[in-house]
């Protein structure tokens, strides 16, 4: 399938799966009827990518979707909103007003064979009334070519011959011809293993907490995806080898879950079979501690454990990748370090412990931010500042570097002034903290905060929303909106619309939890009451 054909297929799949399912489901009353086929039973276990969405939510899930829609978009009529979006994107047909009594509660989409420019893909929608579904398809496919495969009739799109649609057993299918045939083979072949029964699939979904009231899930088999790329013949074998090595460390199965509560949107990611480095769980706990130790005035905070070790690992991975590509980067790096008189590992990374980044301020005069690093060797940190001062004089003589003065809590440090920047950069060490940032108040807060995020009511609420996952990221939207308005962005019509959208949001928090060989990451977007 060509790139233009893929784009057309995506539009048609969106029309079928969204307006023809979610919109219809929410416009109708009740659940999916007496018959509720699972699309995962029509997809083979061999596919490397599969996603599933609840297109006819019921009960609390339906109420939550409508509530969030009203708060974010001003209307709980999701069907009308989807139709409006489709029309604005050039699709002039609407399915929201049609009868929906044949639509099941779930739809799936899978990707099978892939290459750099094409893919075998199909949407599989469960149906509760095959006769009515066939009537609907026949009516919408007038004038299109009809074909047959294993006694299953299907239509070829007259505008895009790479896209087909048909009824296969208890499922309506739209996708590539190969994608539809894969569904036929799976439904009609008793010996074909289904993804619904795959342990790798169920284990990955279990890691994100899949449940009947989940709005959407996604799954990927990383090694299977690389194998599919290998079969396409369009990707160099060297690139595939590097990719296999990378994903071997990152897990055997990946999953994601998207859900809606009454006042929040949540996304869960999980990787199973991860080959974790020693101390990974402790590092996550340290990242949370670093985040919570940032100033309570911060509206943005990011925590990380053992910064020096993580930077060292990233450099080593980069060097390994370069070596596999036939480049001798290590020798070049050694020569540069010798010329500049600095050793990155010993002079910088060796003393860097847990760290956090924050931003604060709601006006042009109060805005600021800094990187705060716990130093394991303050004396070595002071030496590093001296070496950095000398290094800057060699590589950036246009910068004005002077001693930092009047910074409360600092034992020593430097101020770096760039004629192109409105604020100087401060790099100071005080006690067991190294802080580099913009704005004297922010740097002083980083050295010795009067209150911390751990004491902040907004942070506590965001952290609690993660439900046991250790937070490592926090962003509070109200002060950001105040800052953007203070900068005058609300006078621009385009920016004003963005500010209006941001004002409807509360906070974003994210965190990670490790358990054995499983890594679980959670992101929560809260909405203000």
Q: Indicate if the pLDDT at residue 392 is higher than 70.
A: yes
Question: Looking at the predicted structure, is the pLDDT value of residue 328 above 60?
Answer: yes
What stretches of 429-526 show up as alpha helix (H) in DSSP? Answer: 440-447, 457-465, 477-486, 493-502
> Which is higher by pLDDT, 15 or 344?
344
CA atoms within 13 A on the CB side of 415: 14
The predicted-structure confidence for 126-136, as pLDDT tens digits, reads as follows 998 899 989 98
Q: Are the CB atoms for 220 and 182 separated by under 8 Å?
A: no
User: What is the reported pLDDT for 17?
Assistant: 44
Domain ranges of the chain: 3-219, 284-447
Rounded to two decimals, the pTM is: 0.84
Per-residue pLDDT at 354: 96
Confidence of residue 435 (pLDDT cuts 50, 70, 90): very high
Average pLDDT value for residue range 73-94: 63
Say which range, 150-164, 217-231, 237-251, has the weakest mean pLDDT. Answer: 237-251
Confidence of residue 233 (pLDDT cuts 50, 70, 90): low
The dihedral built from the CA positions of residue 351, 354, 359 and 361, taken in this order, carries a sign that is: negative
- Grouping H, G, I as helix, E, B as strand and the rest as coil, residue 272 is strand
Determine the pLDDT at residue 90: 57
Q: Stretch 454-479: mean pLDDT, rounded? A: 94
Distance CA 11, CA 33 (A): 28
Each residue's pLDDT tens digit, 22-73: 444 444 434 444 468 999 999 999 999 999 999 888 889 989 988 888 888 8
Q: Who has greater pLDDT, 395 or 374?
A: 374
Cα separation, 65 vs 77, whole angstroms: 10
What is d(CA 229, CA 159) in angstroms, rounded to the nearest whole number? 28
């Amino acid at each position: 399938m060509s790139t233009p054909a893929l784009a057309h297929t995506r539009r048609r799949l969106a029309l079928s799966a969204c307006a023809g399912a979610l919109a219809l489901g929410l416009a109708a009353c009740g659940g999916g009827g007496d018959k509720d086929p699972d699309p995962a039973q029509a997809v083979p276990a061999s596919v490397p990518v599969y996603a599933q969405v609840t297109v006819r939510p019921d009960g609390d899930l339906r109420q939550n979707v409508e509530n969030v829609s009203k708060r974010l978009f001003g209307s709980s009529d999701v069907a009308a909103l989807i139709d409006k979006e489709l029309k604005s994107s050039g699709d002039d047909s609407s399915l929201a007003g049609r009868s929906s009594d044949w639509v099941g509660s779930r739809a799936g989409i899978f990707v099978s064979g892939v290459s750099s420019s094409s893919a075998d893909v199909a949407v599989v929608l469960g149906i509760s009334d095959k006769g009515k579904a066939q009537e609907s398809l026949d009516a919408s496919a007038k004038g299109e070519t009809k074909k047959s495969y294993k006694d299953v009739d299907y239509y070829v799109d007259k505008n895009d011959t790479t896209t087909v649609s048909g009824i296969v057993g208890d499922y309506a299918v739209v996708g590539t011809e190969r994608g539809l045939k894969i569904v036929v083979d799976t439904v009609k072949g008793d010996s074909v293993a289904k993804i619904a029964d795959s342990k790798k699939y169920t284990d990955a979904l279990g890691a994100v907490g899949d449940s009947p009231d989940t709005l959407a899930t996604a799954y990927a088999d990383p090694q299977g995806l690389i194998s599919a790329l290998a079969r396409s013949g369009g990707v160099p074998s060297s690139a595939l080898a590097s990719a296999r090595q990378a994903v071997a460390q990152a897990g055997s199965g990946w999953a994601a879950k998207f859900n809606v509560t009454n006042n929040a949107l949540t996304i869960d990611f999980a990787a199973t079979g991860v080959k974790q480095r020693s101390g990974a769980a402790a590092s996550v706990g340290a990242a949370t501690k670093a985040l919570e130790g940032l100033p309570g005035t911060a509206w943005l905070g990011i925590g990380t454990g053992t910064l020096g070790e993580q930077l060292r690992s990233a450099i080593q991975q980069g060097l390994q990748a370069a070596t596999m590509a036939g480049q001798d980067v290590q020798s070049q790096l050694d020569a540069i370090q010798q010329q500049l008189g600095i050793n990155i590992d010993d002079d910088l990374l060796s003393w860097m412990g847990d760290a956090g980044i924050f931003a604060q301020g709601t006006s042009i005069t109060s805005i600021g931010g800094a990187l705060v690093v716990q130093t394991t060797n303050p004396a070595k940190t002071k030496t590093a500042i001296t070496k950095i001062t000398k290094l800057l004089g060699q590589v950036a003589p246009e910068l004005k570097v002077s001693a930092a003065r009047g910074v409360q809590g600092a034992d020593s440090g430097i101020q770096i002034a760039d004629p192109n920047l409105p604020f100087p950069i401060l790099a100071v060490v005080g006690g067991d903290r190294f802080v580099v940032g913009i704005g004297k108040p922010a740097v002083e807060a980083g050295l010795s905060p009067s209150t911390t995020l751990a004491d902040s009511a907004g942070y506590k609420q965001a952290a609690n929303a993660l439900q046991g996952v250790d937070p490592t990221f926090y962003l509070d939207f109200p002060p950001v909106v105040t800052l953007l308005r203070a900068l005058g962005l609300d006078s621009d019509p385009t920016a004003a619309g963005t500010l209006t959208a941001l004002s409807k949001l509360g906070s974003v928090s994210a965190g990670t939890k490790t358990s054995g060989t499983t890594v679980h990451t959670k992101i929560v977007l809260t909405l203000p009451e």
